[in-house]
Structure 1
Amino acid sequence: MLLSYPFSIPLYLTLVLWSASVVLADPIEPSANLPQTQPWDLTQLSAAPEFTWVDADSPVRSLTYVGDEFDGHPTSVFAYYATPGTVLGDKSLDKHLPAVVCIHGGGGTAFREWAELWAKRGYAAIAMDLAGSRPIEGKNPHDQKNRTRLADGGPFHGDQHKFGHINDPVHQQWQYHAVANVILAHSLIRSFPEVDKKRTGVTGISWGGYLTCIVAGVDSRFHAAVPVYGCGYLTDNSKWLDRFAQMTPELKQRWITLWDPKQYLPAVSMPILFVNGTNDFAYPLDSYMKSYAVVPDDVHKQLSITVKMPHSHPGGWNPPQIGHFMDQWLKQGEPLPTVGRPQVRAEQVELQYDTASVASAASAAIHWTVDDKAVNAHAWKTAEAIVKEDIILAPKPPANAKLWYMTVKTDDGSLVSSEIVFATPQ
């Protein structure tokens, strides 16, 4: 049985609390849209992995759990774990909690502050390292020098590991382990007695957003997903076109088949919010909108595109719309406004939006660009829009606009947007 915690143990003592041999009460049920080429054993990943406390006393706890085999040996994954009760010192708060799995991006690690942020929002949160390492306590975790490699860690997460090993066996590649370790973290947090396993979400930043797009299609047990920056269609346009140019056509197709999120987004069944900036250097809007479009239309999907949103871990976890969206679906909170496709009517643009959220629509705007630069290098212009009872009105963008869209902001600063309108179909 799972022992009650938090409890006090000496730091030198590690204690295995859970075994993957437990009977699966709620296994992953693969979507019919999940490709047959997906490489993971979903039954195995549905079971909570064995784990060991590293620190079971601090407000933000730390642990390691058992990952899949790499280089002939089982791996360890380091993670931080926090709840409202641990960060506020009140165990009575830890009952029937919604939970969130936090996936870091390239150059990142397990972030204590990210787990704490979600715990203060009222969630149980787990943030794992997906590079076979752990942060050095007391040092800035955003500096890659402040990491310690685990003796039994999995593959590193540099570009060479994401692209250069595509001809290796699938189980030796970073994406395979990263997705598996995210799903195992989900299985682990769902097994904790304070967590309501029917209210779990996942969010990731940059490469973590990329992984969120995959995981949301693979692990049907999530109830909400928020990928930030990351998307699919990376061979169409992304920061890594030079990497794909170095591959043979066969290896490029193998990468697309195994690891491009466009293979997995059609299998998404839970509500999903895509968060990005207009000028993201890695995940440009053309590939981003293709990723949004391939999610089935019967799934609740929304966009949040901010003009020139900064690309960073703090920049990717601070937008209030992320917490607002999770609260909507995991805590029955006030819904974000849902908007339609903007329509040009004479000299103005009309944007229909959900009247159930009228109280939340504090302001709105229209954004456009007219230059001939690359899609993620445009200069953007903005004009205010008028919020009416069930419609938003804005001035028509110039006839030579290359792309344009509209945004709605709520009283708490959460931003949602319409689809991007391209002058030239993408």
Structure 2
Amino acid sequence: MDTNGSVPLGGHEHKRHEYAGPPAWGGFEQINEPIQEQWTYLSVANIMLANSLLRSRPEVDANRIGITGISWGGYLTCITAGVDQRYKFAVPVYGSGFIGDSSAWTGAFKNMGEGGTKWLGLWDPSRYLKHARMPILWVYGTNDGAYYLDAVQKSYQLLPANQSTLSTHVRMPHGHGGAGENPEEIHAFADHYLKGGPALARIRKQERKGNDVTVRYSSSQPIVRAELNFTKAHGSWLDRYWDTTPAQLDAKKRLVKATLPEGTSVYYVSLIDDKGLVVSTQHVEVAR
């Protein structure tokens, strides 16, 4: 759905309808308006109304509705998951909380002064995510230009570990269309919870001793490959270069082992099943 009040005319035309509400992505400039007239409030309210509308339709199974969103839609998915418990699952693509700490807008919030503090207190997803009860799949990239890696991690760490599944992709492009819609992990996650399809793999344990990394997992589908993704860079998440190297997979023991290259600053391990679906561990920052 369009959360900026536009109607589907095709192409890149964004004509807004008469009940569209305030135009915005984020609505930072609306912070001193009544709460009910601010973009985030209206967007989440409309998403919840859309859920109710779908549930009212006789051709819709009300027990099989999930939510996913891309970019600002991922941001809204994070909030909605915390305030509307009716969804069977949620999949934020790129979106996260803690955007005042680490995102493309961190500088803007600092420049807003008290207004930025007020906006984050009202509308940062970290205020709401902890109330989410449905399973959540986080799909994001190592160098995303909007929602940075550490902000995504702090967001899913608000929840019990078994509630979140991670699918982290090296240099995943940010965008609507194919970039944010085509990852097959989204479809597989939805099919599992809505149609009883195979579940994505689960990370059961990850640990590091020195440069030796081990990961234990469970999976109903064959895991055919494991990869160690790592960077030696420091500084901006946006600018760090990531490498990928094969990890040692013991499919019978459901165990992955890898050795960190000297100088690794951050790493995570990915499992790839026989359909090419990627499930990842949490990323780990290595203290040196």
Q: TM-score, normalised by structure 1?
A: 0.64
Match of 2:130? 266
Match of 2:159? 295
CA contact (8 A) 2:248 2:258 kept: no
Match of 2:6? 133
What's the CA shift string for 1:48-68, capped at 9, x where partnerless? xxxxxxxxxxxxxxxxxxxxx
* Code of the aligned partner of 1:134: V
Residue 346 (structure 1) shift: 6.6
CA contact (8 A) 1:362 1:409 kept: yes
Residue 387 (structure 1) shift: 2.4
> 2 CA distance for matches of 1:350 and 1:306?
20
Match of 2:256? 393
1:147 to 14, 26, 40: 14
CA contact (8 A) 1:320 1:412 kept: no
Rate the CA distance shift 1:252–1:386 in 2: closer, same or farther, 3 A: same
SS at structure 1 position matched to 2:229? strand
* Code of the aligned partner of 1:182: I
SS at structure 1 position matched to 2:77? helix
Residue 393 (structure 1) shift: 2.9
Within 5 A, what are the aligned runs for 1:10-409? 128-136=1-9, 139-140=10-11, 143=12, 146-158=13-25, 162-249=27-114, 251-297=115-161, 300-314=163-177, 315-345=179-209, 348-354=212-218, 356-357=219-220, 359-388=221-250, 389-409=252-272
Could you tell me which runs of 5 or more consecutive residues in structure 2 were left unpaired when the two chains were aligned. none
Rate the CA distance shift 1:324–1:252 in 2: closer, same or farther, 3 A: same
What's the CA shift string for 1:150-190, capped at 9, x where partnerless? 1232221245xx21111111011000110001111111111
> 1 CA distance for matches of 2:69 and 2:5?
18
CA contact (8 A) 2:89 2:190 kept: yes
* Code of the aligned partner of 2:75: Y
SS at structure 2 position matched to 1:227? strand
What's the CA shift string for 1:236-287, capped at 9, x where partnerless? 11101222112223x2332122100001110010010111000000100011
> 2 CA distance for matches of 1:405 and 1:233?
21
> 1 CA distance for matches of 2:228 and 2:59?
44
Match of 1:63? none
Structure 1 vs Structure 2 CA RMSD: 1.8
What's the CA shift string for 1:11-65, capped at 9, x where partnerless? xxxxxxxxxxxxxxxxxxxxxxxxxxxxxxxxxxxxxxxxxxxxxxxxxxxxxxx
Residue 347 (structure 1) shift: 5.8
> 2 CA distance for matches of 1:254 and 1:242?
15
Residue 413 (structure 1) shift: 1.9
> 1 CA distance for matches of 2:165 and 2:231?
22
Residue 331 (structure 1) shift: 1.2
CA contact (8 A) 1:348 1:393 kept: no
> 1 CA distance for matches of 2:255 and 2:235?
29
CA contact (8 A) 2:216 2:256 kept: no
Larger helix percent: 2
Rate the CA distance shift 1:222–1:158 in 2: closer, same or farther, 3 A: closer
Could you tell me which runs of 5 or more consecutive residues in structure 1 were left unpaired when the two chains were aligned. 1-127
SS at structure 1 position matched to 2:92? strand
> 1 CA distance for matches of 2:217 and 2:108?
41
State, as a whole percentage, how many aligned pairs show the same letter: 40
CA contact (8 A) 1:340 1:418 kept: no
* Code of the aligned partner of 2:30: H
Q: TM-score, normalised by structure 2?
A: 0.94
> 1 CA distance for matches of 2:274 and 2:23?
42
> 1 CA distance for matches of 2:121 and 2:269?
34
> 2 CA distance for matches of 1:326 and 1:376?
29
Total equivalences in the alignment: 286
CA contact (8 A) 1:344 1:396 kept: no
- 1:419 matched to 2:282: yes
Match of 1:30? none
* Code of the aligned partner of 2:137: L
